[in-house]
Structure formats: C-alpha cells, structure tokens
C-alpha cells in the first residue's frame, strides 16, 4: 500500500529540489541498486530537524551508502560529528567516498557492524538519532536509545507506517517490530512523539 497517492508523491518530489550534486548522484545510485533510501522529501525534513534542534552529535542507525547521513551532515557545523553505521562494510566504504567528495564540514565516523552493539562501545549522549535498521530490531532501539538522548534531543524513525501493513491483520515479525516500537514511543514517559505520514511514515520523538 502506498501511504500517499502516487501523484502526490510525484508532486512533492518535484517541489523538493535536490540542491547538492552528491545527493543527486546518490539518488541515482539508489535507483540503480533498487536500494531503499529515504528520498529527498524525508531528507529535507531531517536537515530541518537537525538545524531546529541545534544537534552537534548524531547517530545514524542503518546508513546504507550514506544518503540519510549525508542530508543530516549537510546541516551540521564544523564542530559537530555524525556516526554512520551499517552491517555491510561495502556500503560504508561507498558512503565514505561520497562524504570525501561532498561539501561536508562536520566530522563523520564510520562503523561496520550492528549499531545496537556499537551503542555499548560509544560513550555519552546524542543530540539526534535517526533509526532505519531492520524492522524486527525497532523494539530494541526503543529500549536502548531514549536514555542515550540528551534532554531536548530528537529520535526520528523511518517506515513507521510500513507500506500500510501496520493496519492489516496477522502482522509478520517486521510489522510487529514496527507496531511495538510505534506504540512504545507514544507510551514512553520520557518521549513526546508524532507520526508524519510522508513517504512510508516517519515518527519524531522529542526527549523530555
């Protein structure tokens, strides 16, 4: 199920220019590999949220070849940092190359492996976390991330409407992961959450 009508999606895509040549290249790469990137509508939303929250330390969970992270990095100043994570080393090498060629001022870090395991190795709080990992792992993200966010920090999660499967009977494991996560961010005592039905659904949770 498409969340928004395809003609609305096309209209929105056209309204949201991709102003950066590296992002345009990455969008082409996403199409070529049929790789699920967030696209420019959600990319621009991330850029705005990073700026609005004055984020300086970001964790990108499930970076692929770096498209979502690149949008957030564009919004960061030189004294800021972003950590990209992915199971697949090749994806991160590709991301590293895009970051090297792009107009990024902040410091990127690249970590190959399970980002939930990485959390135990990283110290301190984050200002901003973007979650796009395997959907079965979403409940674990909810268990681990809120206490790692500073007060006033932001947790953004992609695919919370999961192609409409969240409204269907007999959910599979991935859908159950999304359902549990989404119910959880609304029930969480330290989060204030909303769901925006753009693309595949994006949740935005503010750490109280």
Ligand X SMILES: C[S@@+](CC[C@H](N)C(=O)[O-])C[C@H]1O[C@@H](n2cnc3c(N)ncnc32)[C@H](O)[C@@H]1O
Block residue for tokens 């990992």: 133
Tell me the closest approach of the beta carbon of residue 130 to ligand X, in angstroms.
7
Stated length of the chain: 208
Block residue for tokens 């102003």: 19
| C-beta of residue 41 within 8 angstroms of C-beta of residue 199 | yes
Q: Is 67 in the site for ligand X (CB under 6 A)?
A: yes
* Positive or negative: CA dihedral 47, 48, 50, 51: positive
Q: Is 68 in the site for ligand X (CB under 6 A)?
A: yes
Distances (CA, A) of 186 to 2, 15, 66, 189: 24, 31, 29, 8
Torsion of CA 157, 158, 163, 166, to 10 degrees: -10
Nearer Cβ to ligand X, position 77 or 134? 134
Tell me the closest approach of the beta carbon of residue 132 to ligand X, in angstroms.
4
Q: Is 27 in the site for ligand X (CB under 6 A)?
A: no
Site for ligand X in 72-111 (CB under 6 A): 85-88, 91
Q: What is the phi/psi pair of residue 93, to 5°?
A: -65, -40
Nearer Cβ to ligand X, position 37 or 75? 37
Give the total of residues touching ligand X (CB under 6 A): 20
Q: Is 127 in the site for ligand X (CB under 6 A)?
A: no
Site for ligand X in 131-150 (CB under 6 A): 132-134, 137
Q: Is 203 in the site for ligand X (CB under 6 A)?
A: no
- Which of 23, 58, 115, 154 forms a contact with ligand X (CB under 6 A)? 115
Q: Is 62 in the site for ligand X (CB under 6 A)?
A: yes
Nearer Cβ to ligand X, position 87 or 122? 87
For residue 82, the Cα-to-chain-centroid distance in whole angstroms is 12
Nearer Cβ to ligand X, position 73 or 185? 73
Report d(CA 43, CA 29) in Å as an integer. Answer: 16
Nearer Cβ to ligand X, position 76 or 115? 115
């Amino acid at each position: 199920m498409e969340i928004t009508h395809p003609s609305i999606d096309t209209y929105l895509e056209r309204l949201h220019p991709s102003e950066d040549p590296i992002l345009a290249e990455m969008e082409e790469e996403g199409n070529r590999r049929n790789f699920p990137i967030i696209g420019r509508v959600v990319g621009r939303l991330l850029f705005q949220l990073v700026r609005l929250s004055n984020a300086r330390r970001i964790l990108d969970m499930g970076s692929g070849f770096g498209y979502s992270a690149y949008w957030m990095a564009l919004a960061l100043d030189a004294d800021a940092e972003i950590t990209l994570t992915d199971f697949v080393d090749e994806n991160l090498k590709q991301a590293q190359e895009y970051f090297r060629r792009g107009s990024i001022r902040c410091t990127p870090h690249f970590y190959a492996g399970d980002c939930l395991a990485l959390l135990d190795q990283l110290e301190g709080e984050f200002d901003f976390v973007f979650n796009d990992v395997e959907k079965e792992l979403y409940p674990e993200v909810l268990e681990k991330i809120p206490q790692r966010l500073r007060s006033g920090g932001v947790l953004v999660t992609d695919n919370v409407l999961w192609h409409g499967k969240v409204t269907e009977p007999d959910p599979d494991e991935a859908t159950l992961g999304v359902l549990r996560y989404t119910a959880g961010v609304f029930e969480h005592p330290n989060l204030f959450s909303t769901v925006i039905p753009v693309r595949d659904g994006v949740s935005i949770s503010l750490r109280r």
